[in-house]
Structure 1
Amino acid sequence: MQPTTPSIPQETLWIPTPHGRLYAERWHPSGAPAAQAGGSPFVLFHDSLGSVALWRDFPQQLATATGRDVIAYDRLGFGQSDAYPDRLSGNFVRAETRAGLQPLREALGLTRFIALGHSVGGGMAVCAAAQHPEDCRGLVTIAAQAFVDDGILAGIREVEQAFAQPGQLERLQKYHGDKAAWVLRAWVDSWCAPWFADWTLDEELPRVQCPLLVIHGEKDEYGCSTHPRRIAEHSRGPATLCLLEGVGHVPHRERPKDVLQQIQQWLQTHAVE
């Protein structure tokens, strides 16, 4: 059963970067200015085909459940943000901290934050925590991958074939407009490229010092349980691992109540500022 989401104040933002504008939304649970909101705000990093809109009502639910501001943005090339000027680079996961998070923080004056990411966005959240150990007060990964394996690649190829069917690309166009084909190719061509085969989070994880919550579905079709265990075990901050039975790759959509409860409990247990 989906948790009820009361209406809360929401702000639309446009963030300038050297390569184009980023589209973002911010939810204020109390209606107070950001400086008065309780605790560090959440910054959400979306998945490979994702966008602000594809988080659906999870940001509102998260803001309501935690009493904290929640900020979600479309990475460059995705959603309502401007088109990406080229192909994704080989270090695109690590580079998102500089390309997206940094201009977002500068525009909004964020001195501290909690990084929360889904799928590849979870890897980006890990990189954000590793690169800003003093400012990142907490880290939540949902269905994140820690390395490339055959199971992930098989799942990507299966979805690629599905989108090759007539009319299927329109599903992405609803969220990404004329950038939809680029979004699909960016996902497939980066993860399946030979130059990405050796990618891992092994360099970043030991640099994560803040409290960490790792949420993963036991039936995740894009990453077995080795991924969340590796993330939890290799970080230096206190880690909480939550494996959800019968859940696939989108726990916050499949079991939102459980995900929100885990986040609330984690915030309280570790007194995340």
Structure 2
Amino acid sequence: MTWPTEIRAGGKRLECAGFGPAPDKAPTLVLLHEGLGSLALWRDFPQRLADATGWGVFVWSRAGYGRSEAAELPRPLDYMTREAVDVLPEVLDAIGFRRGVLMGHSDGATIAAEYAGSVEDFRVRGLVLMAPHFFTEAGGLASIAEAKAAFASGGLREKMAKYHDDPEATFRGWNDAWLAPGFRDWHVGEVIDYWRVPCLAIQGADDQYGSLDQIREIESRSYAPVDTVILPGVKHAPQSEAPEAVLEAVAEFCARLARIEAAEPELA
């Protein structure tokens, strides 16, 4: 099989791309982007990840992002849960996912975490979560409010227009949900209690959108093994601010999963 450039999931047309071996040839790392991300905004990271691991890497833009079909606004306050439970299963089936790891950044990390804790899918053998969030924090909400001001001033809007068909809708879908009064009580940490696969948690020590309490939530709640990488001097985007460290950590994590799987005895 070959990687598709378009799939349908959640009733929407979604742009996508694959790097390295297809799911019928090797395990797959499925990349889930951040709240203002897209396929293109991963830049060269997916190819470098495929080269570093020898695994396939699949990337797509969620509805309302990049060149994918528009999403309905306003987004519901549980939009990440809906992406995890309603849309991600269709994405994985659409690409013929067989086994591998969900790797998310920011909102994408939360979606991956929710999937692992809500959907029984034995194809998922591990999680890589970069800058995940499981609950709101005053500092993170303040940074999101600052982003709103940056968008209104035009600078952020112009940058986003390079990567999204409708930057206004993309920004509002994310920013309006996070700054809604009802979102202050948002908390999905309980999904961690139901993980049954190892997790690699990566966060910048200077992340402006979330404190290390988000990582501690994982460490204190997960029954499955957790590896943690905290990157000094790094803010919210480890994959672009410290790509070599992230690639090394993920490659070792995937290699360890492969060794464990190879050592498991076959069931008669």
- Decide: shared fold, TM above 0.5: yes
For structure 1, the residue ranges without an aligned partner over 5 or more in a row are 1-9
1:226 lines up with 2:213 in the alignment = yes
134 and 18 in structure 1: CA distance in 2 versus 1, 3 angstrom threshold:
closer
**Which residue does the alignment assign to 1:169?**
157
Equivalent residue in structure 2 for 1:27, among 19, 24, 38: 19
Q: Distance in 2 between matches of 1:161 and 1:148?
A: 19
| Deviation by residue 1:152-180 (Cα, 9 ceiling, x = unmatched) | 10000111111111354121111112x21
> Contact 2:23 / 2:97 at 8 angstroms: preserved in 1?
no
> Contact 1:233 / 1:239 at 8 angstroms: preserved in 2?
no
**Aligned amino acid, residue 127 of structure 2:** L
> Contact 2:64 / 2:70 at 8 angstroms: preserved in 1?
yes
Shift of 1:12: 4.6
Shift of 1:11: 4.1
Q: Distance in 2 between matches of 1:199 and 1:102?
A: 23
Shift of 1:18: 4.8
| Deviation by residue 1:110-154 (Cα, 9 ceiling, x = unmatched) | 133311100111100101211235221000000111210101100
**Aligned amino acid, residue 5 of structure 2:** L
191 and 262 in structure 1: CA distance in 2 versus 1, 3 angstrom threshold:
same
> Contact 1:138 / 1:272 at 8 angstroms: preserved in 2?
no
**Aligned amino acid, residue 43 of structure 2:** R
**Which residue does the alignment assign to 1:45?**
32
**Which residue does the alignment assign to 1:198?**
185
> Contact 2:23 / 2:99 at 8 angstroms: preserved in 1?
no
> Contact 1:43 / 1:70 at 8 angstroms: preserved in 2?
yes
263 and 149 in structure 1: CA distance in 2 versus 1, 3 angstrom threshold:
same
Shift of 1:100: 3.0
For structure 2, the residue ranges without an aligned partner over 5 or more in a row are 262-268
**Which residue does the alignment assign to 1:135?**
123
**Which residue does the alignment assign to 1:235?**
222
> Residue 97 of structure 2: SS of its match in structure 1?
coil
Alignment of 1:150-161 (within 5 A): 150-161=138-149
> Contact 2:53 / 2:255 at 8 angstroms: preserved in 1?
no
> Residue 82 of structure 1: SS of its match in structure 2?
coil
Shift of 1:28: 1.6
165 and 124 in structure 1: CA distance in 2 versus 1, 3 angstrom threshold:
same
Tell me the percent identity: 35
| Deviation by residue 1:47-100 (Cα, 9 ceiling, x = unmatched) | 010001001111111110000000011001111110013321121111112343
Shift of 1:272: 5.9
Equivalent residue in structure 1 for 2:176, among 189, 193, 196: 189
1:144 lines up with 2:143 in the alignment = no
> Residue 200 of structure 1: SS of its match in structure 2?
coil
101 and 212 in structure 1: CA distance in 2 versus 1, 3 angstrom threshold:
same
